[in-house]
Amino acid sequence: MGASDDIGGIMLKSCRALLAALSLSLAVAAPAYAQEKTGAKPGFSLMPGTARIVLMRPSIRVGAQSTGGMYEPNADWTDQARENIAAALAKAQTGLGNSVVAYAEPLGADGAKVAEYRELFGAVASSVIEYQFFKGNRLPTKKRKDQFEWGLGPDVRALPGLDTADYALFITTEDHFGSTGRKVLQVFAAMARIPVAAGVHKGFAGLVDLRTGDLVWLNADMQMGGDVRDAEGADKRVRQLLEGFPGKPVEASVVSAPAIAASPAIASAH
C-alpha cells in the first residue's frame, strides 16, 4: 500500500485506528484460548497402495518481523522455503508409499476456476477453525462426537489435471522471523511486564478426497516449529503440518514433537 495506493486526498486515516493496529501488533503473544488443531473424517483412511496426491500451489510467505512488528517479506527465504517444503513433503509421503506431484496450474478460464476453488478451500478451512476447532464459537451441530463433515464438493475433480489423482493437498504457511531488534525489544518489554511476541509461525494443511470432494483432514497450527529456510527445519515443519494425517501416522518413525511444546523454542531460535 503506502505511497502508490491511492490518489484521493480524501482518505484520512484516523489516528486511533492506526494506534490500535500498532498496539495489536505488539500484543500478538497468542492467548492460550481453547483451540483444537486437527480434525479428520472419522473412519477415513487413505486408499490402500499408492495414493496419488496432487499438491495445489502452496501459499508460502517467509519474511522478517521488524522491531515494530511489521512484516518484511523476503523473496530469497520464500524461494528456499518453497523448495525445502516440497522436498520434505515428497520425502514424507514416499516414505508412506504415496506420490506427491505439484499441480500444474491451467491458464485462462480454468485458471480462474482453480482460483475460485482455492478461495473456497480458504473459506472452508476458516470455517472449520472458527466454528469447529475453536470451542468458544463452535456450532452446536458441529459439537457431536467424532464428527467432521466438510468439503469442496465432488465437482472439484473436474478441474483440469485432477481427474487422475486421488487427493488434493492444500498447504499454507506464514513465517515472520523476529529480527534482532524485535528480540531485544522483547527482552526489554519482558522487564516492563509487557507481553511482546517475537515471530509469527503459523500454517495449515488440508487433504481433499477427489472422489467425493470431502475434506478428510485439516490441521491448523498458529505456533509451528521448524525453520523452513533450511532442509532440516522444513522436515520438521512438514511433520507438524501433517500431524493427524489420515492413514499411517507420519510421525511414527520420528520422535513425536508436539507443536505447542516446541513453539517457545522457535521464537528464540532465530
Partner 1 sequence: MSIKPLVAPVALVVVAAFAVPASAGNKLVPAGQRIAVAKSAMTVQPGTEWNKLSERPGRKAETWTQDGDELNDLTFYGGIESGKPLFREVDRKNQPLPKVSATMLITDIPVLLENSYRIALGAASVRIDTIEPIPFAGAKGVHFTYTFSKQNETLQRRGDARGAIIGGKLYLVTYEAPSLYYYDRSAAAARVVADSVQF
Partner 2 sequence: MRNPLPALVPAFLLAAAMGTAAIAADKRPPLPTYTQAYTPTTVDERGLWMEADERERVQRESRSLVKDPALNAYVRGVLCRTVGEDRCRSVRLYIDEVPAFNAFMTPNGAMVVWTGLLLRVRSEAELGAILGHEFGHFELRHSLKDFRSHRIGTDLMAWASILVRNSGNLQYAMVGQMYAFSRDQEREADMTGFQYLARSQYPSSAAADVWVNVMGEADATAIGRKGRAQHKYVAGVFATHPTDLARATYLRAAAIEAHDVKPAVVDTHQAAMAKWLPIFLNDQIKLNDFGGSEYLLANLAGAGGWTTPLLCARGDLYRERGNPRDLVSAAQFYQEAIARGDAPPEAYRGLGLSLLRSQQLAEGRAALVDYLRLQPAAPDAALIATLVAQ
Size of the site for partner 2 (CB under 8 A): 44
Instruction: Decide which of partner 1, partner 2, none touches 222; Cβ closer than 5 to 8 Å per partner kind.
Output: partner 1
150 contacts: CB under 8 Å, gap ≥ 6: 124, 127, 128, 214, 215, 218
Q: How far is the CB of 68 from partner 2 (least distance, A)?
A: 3
Q: Which residue, among 215, 226, 195, has the nearest Cα to 29 in the 3D structure?
A: 195
Q: CA 14 → CA 71, 87, 194, 256, distances in Å? A: 22, 46, 25, 48
Instruction: Decide which of partner 1, partner 2, none touches 187; Cβ closer than 5 to 8 Å per partner kind.
Output: none
CA 187/CA 165 separation, integer angstroms: 50
Of residues 130 through 189, those in contact with partner 2 by CB under 8 A are 181, 185, 188-189
**Strand, coil or helix: 24:** helix
Q: Give the one residue of 29, 44, 52, 67 binding partner 2; rule: CB under 8 A.
A: 67
Read off the C-alpha cell for 191: 522487564
φ, ψ of residue 134 in degrees (nearest 5):
-85, 110
Q: How far is the CB of 18 from partner 1 (least distance, A)?
A: 6
Could you identify the residue written with the cell 489516528? 15
x/- site string to partner 1, residues 68 to 107, per CB under 8 A? xxxx------------------------------------
Q: Give the one residue of 28, 30, 52, 78 binding partner 2; rule: CB under 8 A.
A: 78
**Strand, coil or helix: 116:** helix
Span interacting with partner 2, options 5-13, 47-55, 91-99, 200-208, rule CB under 8 A: 5-13
Instruction: Please compute Rg for the chain using Cα positions.
Output: 20
Q: Which residue, among 260, 54, 47, has the nearest Cα to 171 in the 3D structure?
A: 54
Q: CA 119 → CA 19, 33, 101, 151, 170, distances in Å? A: 31, 27, 21, 13, 11
Going by DSSP bridges, is the β-strand pair 59-65/71-73 parallel, antiparallel, or unpaired? antiparallel
Q: How far is the CB of 161 from partner 1 (least distance, A)?
A: 18
Q: Give the one residue of 36, 79, 83, 119 binding partner 1; rule: CB under 8 A.
A: 119
**Strand, coil or helix: 152:** coil
Instruction: Decide which of partner 2, partner 1, none touches 67; Cβ closer than 5 to 8 Å per partner kind.
Output: partner 2
Span interacting with partner 1, options 67-75, 179-187, 238-246, 258-266, rule CB under 8 A: 67-75
Q: Is 252 in the site for partner 2 (CB under 8 A)?
A: no
Question: Which residues form the interface with partner 1 (CB under 8 A)?
Answer: 1-2, 5, 13, 17-18, 21-22, 24-25, 28, 30-31, 33, 68-71, 112, 115-117, 119-120, 123-124, 126-127, 130-131, 134, 136-142, 150-153, 155, 174, 176, 200, 202, 213, 222
Question: Which residues form the interface with partner 2 (CB under 8 A)?
Answer: 2-15, 18-19, 22-23, 25-26, 61, 63, 66-70, 72-76, 78, 111-112, 115-116, 181, 185, 188-189, 192, 194, 196
